[in-house]
Amino acid sequence: MTRNIILFSSSYFYLTFPQFKAIIPELDGFIKILLNVNELQNYQLDNYIKEKKASQIFDVYIKLKPKKKIKFDSLKSYRIYKKLLTTYLDKIHPDAIISGSDLHLSDRVLFSWCKKNRAPFIILQPSFLEGAFPERYGFKKITKYVLINKILGIPRHRKFNKYGNESQKSYLFLWGKYFIQNPKRKRMIITGNPVFGNLFRNLSHERDLKKKIIICTQGGLDLIFGPNTQEKVQDIYLKAIKSKPEIEFYIKVHPRESIEKYQDLFPKSKFPNVYVCQNRDLYELFKLCDLQISVSSFTSIEAAAMGLPIIILMTHKNVRFPDHFKGEIEIRVSDIDEIVNAINLALSEEYWNEFLVKREKYFKKIFKFTDGKNAKRIATVIKRIIKKQSFKEIV
């Protein structure tokens, strides 16, 4: 007998929260529980959203609390964590578990429970999928996986580093065919992005310049793009801000970064036109601004969806991070001397009209659905999966 419970995992929560928020109103008849899996990979923004906002949309909020702090530095710690999480799942026995990943430790425990109890494990695409450094699993890694995961039963090592492919018995919901990494993967459903319906509705074809620009930062640039990238990017930020004293700049700090670093870089005494923030709602900031600047960030896709022209900083020659923009929708800046002209161009009326045309073409390419009904579509598919209809019936 079903208890009508859907459990949402907090894995990648700063990315999955907008997705969850969009689909939850459509999941009538279910108790919606957010489980704070309490892993070490909790970012500051994750904690802020859980504490301040989660209770507004979920029926129940649960934080997994081990009796002793688990540092995940030994096989014993992993075993304790798995038992703690499994015990909670056995207690509530959800009809389905929804996450934004299958790569974290908690996700692999959750999926293992679902497989054993014949409950669907559903992965919602939260953002771009690829990592900067795709690993190849050689003999040693495969041996470790078999020994630790299969023989000892501890989800310490992953079988794949490929998003959504740790096991093909989970359900993978993608925004469009553009994002398919493994065409042969089973249980893969193209659903569209549940958030973008609202973002598209925020677009206005009439432009009212507010003299405000948002910069979305990104951590680990030296690791991803090579040495000195972070310094080059920050120099471009400084050049832009100093060259445009009449414009207000919002520095939206990435959850993996320290806000103090940017507060020190842009002290209010020297930069009265700069506002450094981390916990402010990203979409509300987009509504205040005329354009967005980032380094290959997914936030630029979101900004463009809401109608903001975007400037992408490409100071690195060896791009090891996937380029989803490809010059189709953005203004690219590779040198510090190009930023001022790029801003002037992005704010011009002529470019705005050109951007609207490029934007429409771009989003038709990467998303299957732009009809604003994605949240309802996803909820309908989830309900059908829970009812254990055949996969052909679901899609």
Range of the domain at 171: 5-193+369-394
Same domain, 270 and 313: yes
What's the pLDDT score for residue 373? Answer: 86
Same domain, 49 and 172: yes
pLDDT of residue 239 exceeding 90: yes
Same domain, 260 and 333: yes
For residue 176, the SS3 value is coil
Strands of 274-277's sheet, edge to edge? 274-277, 248-252, 212-216, 291-294, 310-313, 331-333
CA 290 to each of CA 53, 236, 255, 301: distance values in angstroms, whole numbers, following the listed order: 27, 18, 23, 15
**Domain CATH for 120:** 3.40.50.11380
Residue 22 binned pLDDT confidence (cut-offs 50, 70, 90): very high
**How many domains does the chain fold into?**
2
Same domain, 179 and 287: no
pLDDT over 70, % of the chain: 89
pLDDT tens per residue, range 129-148: 765 445 566 778 778 888 88
Same domain, 210 and 357: yes
Neighbour-count burial of 250, counting CB atoms closer than 10 A to its CB (0-12 exposed, 13-18 middle, 19+ buried): buried
**Domain CATH for 320:** 3.40.50.2000
pLDDT tens per residue, range 206-226: 888 999 999 999 877 777 777
Q: How far apart are CA 245 and CA 55, in angstroms?
A: 40
What's the pLDDT score for residue 1? Answer: 39
Same domain, 259 and 174: no
Same domain, 231 and 264: yes
pLDDT tens per residue, range 270-295: 999 999 999 898 999 999 999 999 99
